[in-house]
Structure 1
Amino acid sequence: MKTKFSSLFCLYLVGAALLAAPARVKAQSVSNETYAELPDPKPVDHSSWTALKPGTYISFADKGIRYAKNSAPQLAIVKNWAAKAWKGDKVQTEFLMWTTAPVKKLNFEYAPLQDGKGHTITANNIKANFVRYVITDELSGGSGCGIPKGLDSSLVADVIDNQTSIAVSANTVQPVWLSVVLPREAIAGSYNGTIKVKDGSNTIGELKYKVSVLNRALPQVKDWKFRLDLWQNPYSVARVYGVKPWSAKHMEIMKPYMQMLANGGQKTITATIIADPWNGQTYDIYDSMIKWTKKKNGSWTYDYTNFDKWVSYMSALGINKLINCYSMIPWNLKFYYDDELTGKTTFITAEPGSAEYAAHWKPMLANFAKHLKQKGWFGKTTIAMDERPMEAMQKAIAVIKSADKDFKISLAGNYHPQIQKDIFDYCIASGQVITDEVLQARKAGGLNTTYYTCCTEAYPNTFTFSPPAESAWLGLYAANKGFDGYLRWAYNCWSKNPLQDTRFGSWSAGDAFLVYPRLRSSVRYELLIAGIRDYEKIQVLRNEFQRKNQTDKLDQLNKLLKDFEIDRLKTGNAKEMVTHAEQVLNAF
Structure 2
Amino acid sequence: MKKTIAVILCFLQFDEAVVAQDHRGLIDSSLLPVQQAHYLPEYTFDKPVNNQAWQTQKSGLHAGFGSSGKSYFRTEVPLQTEQNVWETTGWKGERLNAQILVWSPDSLQQVRLTVSDLNNAAGKVIGSSNIRLQLVRYVISNYPYGAADAVCGQTPYKNGYLMPDRLETLDRFDLPGKTTRPVWVSLDVPASAETGIYSGIITVTTGSSSISLQVKIKVQGQVLPSPRDWSYRLDLWQNPWVVAWKNHLVPWSAEHKVLLKQHLKLYADAGGKYITTYAVHSPWADNSYMIEGGMIEWIKQKNGRWKFDYNIFDTYVQLAMEAGVDQAITIYTPIPWGNRFRYMDEASGNYVYASWPPESGQFIAGWNSFLTDLKMHLEQKGWFEKTYLGINENEMRQTLEAIKVIKKHSPAWRITYAGDWHQELDTLLDDYSFLYGKEPNAQQLQQRRSRGATSTFYVCCNPAKPNNFVFSPPIEGRWISWYSFAFGYHGFLRWAYDAWPEDPVRDARFGSWPAGDCFMVYPGGGSSIRFETMREGIADFEKMQLLKKLAAQSDDKRARDMWQAFEQHLRAFTIERDFNEEKIGADIDEGKALIDRLTEALGG
> Does the pair score TM above 0.5?
yes
Show the counterpart of 2:213: 207
Q: Distance in 2 between matches of 1:417 and 1:94?
A: 44
Show the counterpart of 1:53: 58
**Local SS of the residue matching 2:321:** helix
Shift of 1:435: 3.3
Q: Distance in 1 between matches of 2:122 and 2:331?
A: 53
Trace 1:254-269 onto structure 2 (pairs within 5 A).
Answer: 254-269=260-275
Shift of 1:148: 4.1
Contact 1:363 1:403 survives alignment (8 Å): no
Show the counterpart of 2:141: 136
Q: Distance in 2 between matches of 1:360 and 1:558?
A: 50
Contact 2:111 2:174 survives alignment (8 Å): yes
Show the counterpart of 2:116: 111
Q: Which moved more, 1:183-192 or 1:390-399?
A: 390-399
Shift of 1:375: 0.9
Q: Distance in 1 between matches of 2:474 and 2:284?
A: 28
Which consecutive unaligned segments of at least 5 residues does structure 1 have?
16-29
Match of 2:162 among 155, 165, 171: 155
Trace 1:76-115 onto structure 2 (pairs within 5 A).
Answer: 76-115=81-120
Show the counterpart of 2:565: 556
Q: Distance in 1 between matches of 2:116 and 2:79?
A: 30
Show the counterpart of 2:29: 37
Q: Any idea what the Cα deviations from partners look like across 1:62-108, whole Å, max 9, x if unmatched? A: 33322211233352112112000011111111121112333322221
Contact 1:469 1:527 survives alignment (8 Å): yes
Trace 1:281-300 onto structure 2 (pairs within 5 A).
Answer: 281-300=287-306
Contact 2:6 2:287 survives alignment (8 Å): no
Please say if 1:181 is aligned against 2:188: yes
Please say if 1:332 is aligned against 2:341: no
Give the 3 Å change call, closer, same or farther, for CA 541–241 of structure 1 in structure 2. Answer: same
Show the counterpart of 1:122: 127
Shift of 1:552: 0.9
**Local SS of the residue matching 2:169:** coil
Q: Distance in 2 between matches of 1:562 and 1:192?
A: 35
Give the 3 Å change call, closer, same or farther, for CA 567–116 of structure 1 in structure 2. Answer: closer
AA partner of residue 368 (structure 1): L
Contact 1:460 1:566 survives alignment (8 Å): no
Contact 2:461 2:517 survives alignment (8 Å): yes
Shift of 1:518: 2.1
Q: Distance in 1 between matches of 2:170 and 2:154?
A: 34
Match of 1:583 among 573, 588, 593: 593
Contact 2:142 2:156 survives alignment (8 Å): no
Show the counterpart of 1:487: 493
Q: Any idea what the Cα deviations from partners look like across 1:29-54, whole Å, max 9, x if unmatched? A: x9856652164354333443334332
**Local SS of the residue matching 1:332:** helix
**Local SS of the residue matching 1:434:** coil
Shift of 1:575: 1.7
Q: Any idea what the Cα deviations from partners look like across 1:94-129, whole Å, max 9, x if unmatched? A: 121112333322221111100031100011110121
Q: Distance in 1 between matches of 2:168 and 2:578?
A: 30
Q: Which moved more, 1:549-558 or 1:469-478?
A: 549-558
Show the counterpart of 2:471: 465
Q: Any idea what the Cα deviations from partners look like across 1:251-285, whole Å, max 9, x if unmatched? A: 10121221111111011100011111111222110
Q: Which moved more, 1:269-278 or 1:72-81?
A: 72-81
Q: Distance in 2 between matches of 1:582 and 1:33?
A: 42
Taking only the aligned residue pairs, the percentage that are identical comes to: 33
Show the counterpart of 2:72: 67
Contact 2:237 2:496 survives alignment (8 Å): yes
Q: Which moved more, 1:536-545 or 1:381-390?
A: 381-390
Q: Any idea what the Cα deviations from partners look like across 1:147-195, whole Å, max 9, x if unmatched? A: 2443322111111111322222222211111111111111110000101
Please say if 1:414 is aligned against 2:430: no
Shift of 1:304: 0.2
Shift of 1:297: 2.2
Q: TM-score, normalised by structure 1?
A: 0.92
Q: Which moved more, 1:247-256 or 1:140-149?
A: 140-149
Q: Distance in 2 between matches of 1:65 and 1:222?
A: 28
Q: Distance in 1 between matches of 2:27 and 2:132?
A: 20
Q: Distance in 2 between matches of 1:122 and 1:63?
A: 22
AA partner of residue 129 (structure 2): N
CA-atom RMSD in angstroms: 2.0
Q: Which moved more, 1:546-555 or 1:369-378?
A: 546-555
Shift of 1:378: 0.9
Trace 1:274-423 onto structure 2 (pairs within 5 A).
Answer: 274-423=280-429
Which consecutive unaligned segments of at least 5 residues does structure 2 have?
9-21, 31-36, 38-44, 599-604
Q: Distance in 2 between matches of 1:238 and 1:162?
A: 22
AA partner of residue 121 (structure 2): G
Q: Distance in 2 between matches of 1:177 and 1:307?
A: 36
Q: Distance in 2 between matches of 1:323 and 1:177?
A: 33
AA partner of residue 518 (structure 1): G
How many residues were matched structurally?
566
Q: Distance in 2 between matches of 1:349 and 1:100?
A: 62
Contact 1:59 1:78 survives alignment (8 Å): yes
Shift of 1:235: 1.0
AA partner of residue 193 (structure 1): G
Q: Distance in 2 between matches of 1:553 and 1:391?
A: 48
Give the 3 Å change call, closer, same or farther, for CA 217–302 of structure 1 in structure 2. Answer: same
AA partner of residue 36 (structure 1): D
**Local SS of the residue matching 2:388:** strand
Shift of 1:342: 2.1
Show the counterpart of 1:445: 451
Q: Any idea what the Cα deviations from partners look like across 1:276-307, whole Å, max 9, x if unmatched? A: 11112221100000111111222111100010
Contact 1:272 1:289 survives alignment (8 Å): yes
Shift of 1:330: 0.9
Contact 1:196 1:203 survives alignment (8 Å): no
**Local SS of the residue matching 1:280:** coil
Contact 1:94 1:178 survives alignment (8 Å): yes
Please say if 1:247 is aligned against 2:253: yes
**Local SS of the residue matching 2:597:** coil
Match of 2:484 among 478, 481, 496: 478
AA partner of residue 173 (structure 1): T
Q: Any idea what the Cα deviations from partners look like across 1:456-476, whole Å, max 9, x if unmatched? A: 111110011111100000000
Q: Distance in 2 between matches of 1:434 and 1:100?
A: 52
Q: Any idea what the Cα deviations from partners look like across 1:283-338, whole Å, max 9, x if unmatched? A: 11000001111112221111000101111111122211110000111112110111
Give the 3 Å change call, closer, same or farther, for CA 74–547 of structure 1 in structure 2. Answer: closer
Contact 2:434 2:456 survives alignment (8 Å): yes
Q: Distance in 2 between matches of 1:100 and 1:566?
A: 43
AA partner of residue 292 (structure 1): W
Contact 2:433 2:455 survives alignment (8 Å): yes
Contact 1:459 1:571 survives alignment (8 Å): no
Show the counterpart of 2:16: none
Q: Distance in 1 between matches of 2:571 and 2:434?
A: 20
Q: Which moved more, 1:245-254 or 1:434-443?
A: 434-443
Q: Which moved more, 1:553-562 or 1:285-294?
A: 553-562
Q: Distance in 1 between matches of 2:287 and 2:574?
A: 31
Q: Which moved more, 1:558-567 or 1:568-577?
A: 568-577
Contact 1:279 1:332 survives alignment (8 Å): yes
AA partner of residue 434 (structure 2): I
